[in-house]
Amino acid sequence: MSFPRFALLILGGLSLSISAQNTGPLVDNEFVHSQFGANCALIGSPSLTADLNGDGVEDIVIPARCTSPMMDEAEEHYVVIDPYDAFFGYGNPKITTQFSTEDPERRGFSLLIIHGAGVEAWHSLSPKAKFMVVNLPYKTIYVKKMAAKKKERMAIYVDETGGDAMTSVLYWDGKKYRYEPMGSNLE
């Protein structure tokens, strides 16, 4: 018996959506709200997973827009950090989140990072740590290995927004996240 092509497309779509549901917890706005509060929402860029802190457990980086970074920090047990402004001299997020940026497209953009714990990794009910990275200008992000001081570690590479089109890296140094510019993307 042969199926019409349309029916095969529908059946194929059903099997794809079923298998996508079985790959692990879904990162949606409900998940973001449960981890970082209702002031954060996904921006459409994909979330990335990797072992960012070198403990052998998968972590996650979630691009989001957060309107009030400090508001849910105590209740949701995350730490607001500003490694970008810290690199340039002053990174106290209680102060730097109050600065208004000249780029309205960048206002409120954050990276949400969850360090996983146990076999459930980043989707554990009690993750090892949660961070909200503020004021980092980014257009796209990706995760790959970075060589640093005789060892490799996973890092978050950032293609920054703005006219200078810089690439930078955000990495865990064992105690905190650090920002480091890498150079221009311009040819």
In this prediction, residues 11-33 reach a mean pLDDT of 56
Report if residue 62 sits inside a domain: yes
In this prediction, residues 60-73 reach a mean pLDDT of 91
Report if residue 9 sits inside a domain: no
Report if residue 103 sits inside a domain: yes
Report if residue 19 sits inside a domain: no
Count structural domains, the chain.
Answer: 1
pLDDT classification of 132: cutoffs 50, 70, 90: very high
Q: What is the pTM of this model?
A: 0.79
Report if residue 5 sits inside a domain: no
Q: Return the percentage of the chain with pLDDT > 90, whole number.
A: 48
pLDDT tens sequence across 86-108 = 898 887 777 777 665 555 545 56
Does the pLDDT value for residue 127 go beyond 60? yes
The domain in which residue 38 lies consists of 25-184
Three-state helix/strand/coil letters over the chain? CCCCHHHHHHHHHHHHHHHHHCCCCCCCHHHHHHHHCCCEEECCCCCEEECCCCCCCCEEEEEEEECCCCCCHHHHCCEEECHHHHHCCCCCHHHHCCCCCCCCCCCCEEEEEEECCCCCHHHCCCCCEEEEEECCCCCEEEEEEEEECCEEEEEEEEECCCCCCEEEEEEECCCCEEEEEEEECCC
